[in-house]
Structure 1
Amino acid sequence: MPQNIVGDAATVVILRDASGPAGETWVEVLLLERPGRGSFAGAWAFPGGRVDPEDALPEDALPEDALPDDGGTSPQPAPIAARRAAVRETFEETGLELQEEAIVDLSCWVPPQEAKKRLRTWFFLAADPGGDVVLNVGEHMAFVWIAPAVALARHAAGEMTLFPPTWVTLHGLLGAEASALAIADAASREPELFESLQLYAEDGRIEAVLWAGDAQYGNEAAQGPARHRLRIGTLPWDYERRD
């Protein structure tokens, strides 16, 4: 397991299809608003939570460390315990019942060293199973089904708080016309690994979050053109990715 990681978490990006009066279609995601205290205070995020010991069974075959040790950019498939936690947490937080076999690996996020509680988080995609969203009282304040572009626009306007993993995931869903297509696309690819590094400005503020593939990833003095970063110093945030 990466250094100083204290455990795993699981997050589910639940998708549903929406359409307009002219026949146009788009994808909506389910976001939940956190209370103004505790972890991710006031932020909007996907359903999810920590993997509990009870989510693992003795017969689970995957090794404890599911990340590559060769410097690769793709993790192995998510641990079975993380998939169970994804289903369990979604039901506890929203009342929506997912099936383990119906969720698809999307990405794995490793927080920067500066994070107070470093949980490796596995992101999954799933189709809306239907039914009413019933929030766990006290854990979330509100929910919304929203198009990724609208959520990003609200964040850019300062109307919605998002954290980088949520922002980048929403950005990756821009232009999706159908949830089934988005899920099939994710299922056809290896989940992407995002091991985050923070880049600081001269005044000590966080200027950007960097990931593997950025010229300055692990070497701030590097001058190459490659970029894989989210600039978060000011609104609107700016995602750069190029070789």
Structure 2
Amino acid sequence: MASDKIKDFSKRLSGTGEGSQELVPAATVVLLRPSPDGFETLMLRKNSKLAFGGMWVFPGGRIDPEDGHEDLPMDERARIAAVREAMEEAQLELRAEDLEWFSHWTPPPLGNRRFATWFFVTTAPPAEVVIDQGEITDSQWMTPAAALASHQRGDIELAPPTYVSLHYLSQYSDPETALTELGTAEPRYYATHIGQEGDDLVAMWEGDAGYESGDATTPGPRHRLLMGSDGFQLDDSGSPS
């Protein structure tokens, strides 16, 4: 049985309410724009009463029935949903064909309304960000490195998929290289298993020694995110190539 700490963490990501452990398809888009330090990405702060409450995220949300015909492949419907969400949450107009799919995240079987999410990346349009002060309460352009440092200081809160995405983005020096390399690589799949190591939560993915058993103390290769009281730490020494 999951510990209370794991249950509480899952509840933060899924929001409040009763129901089955529904797997809800969703989409998010990472918007990049040049900056003196390389490039920035748009971060939005979620209303504390919603799923991912109070966390800083990329624009996105669930895939609605009107997001493309039901016969369309789900990744195409996800592109349409990401475009719609960017408009609804930030008043930014995107084109679905410009979005590059680079990862997919499936949450652990804990909590309600589990969001299985397609992650896309594209260039930000030259327009002002406008938020509704309802679902989204704040916005900020940040370099990936600055966002990670702010999280490490405890100034902002990030969900694991956001943190991992920012980590890999921080390895690029300019938006063109990031878009080219992410657009040509095969999308990475993250089906998350949650365990504990002492008092700390651990998100594990395929390739980690503890992935199948859920025992984070299993010795061997690592493909995981340690979520400790002093911040997150990514260990992908056992990551698939």
- Give the TM interval when normalised to the shorter protein: 0.7 to 0.9
Q: Map of 1:170-209 to 2, 5 A cutoff?
A: 170-201=166-197, 206-209=200-203
**Residue 40 of structure 1: aligned partner:** 52
* 1:187 to partner: Cα distance: 1.0
Write the deviation string for residues 22-73 of structure 1: whole angstroms up to 9, x where unpaired: xxx412110001122221111100000000011131552x3xxxxxxxxxxx
Q: Map of 1:62-81 to 2, 5 A cutoff?
A: 62=73, 79-81=75-77
Could you tell me which amino acid in structure 2 is paired with residue 134 of structure 1? V
TM norm structure 1 = 0.84
Query: Which moves more between the two structures, 231-240 or 189-198?
Result: 231-240
* 1:218 to partner: Cα distance: 1.2
| Structure 1 residue corresponding to 2:88, chosen from 92, 109, 120 | 92
TM norm structure 2 = 0.85
* 1:236 to partner: Cα distance: 2.4
Call closer, same or farther: CA 1:59–1:199 in 2, change over 3 Å.
closer
User: Percent sequence identity over matched residues?
Assistant: 36
Q: Map of 1:1-243 to 2, 5 A cutoff?
A: 5-19=22-36, 25-60=37-72, 62=73, 79-201=75-197, 206-219=200-213, 220=215, 223-243=218-238
* 1:129 to partner: Cα distance: 1.2
CA contact (8 A) 1:5 1:120 kept: no
CA contact (8 A) 1:26 1:175 kept: no
What are structure 2's unaligned runs of at least 5 residues? 1-19
* 1:237 to partner: Cα distance: 1.2
Q: Please identify which structure carries the higher helix content.
A: 2
* 1:137 to partner: Cα distance: 3.1
What is the rounded CA distance, in whole Å, between the counterparts of 1:175 and 1:201 in structure 2?
A: 28
Call closer, same or farther: CA 1:39–1:58 in 2, change over 3 Å.
closer
What are structure 1's unaligned runs of at least 5 residues? 20-24, 63-77
Instruction: Count how many residue pairs are aligned between Structure 1 and Structure 2.
Output: 218
CA RMSD across the alignment: 1.8
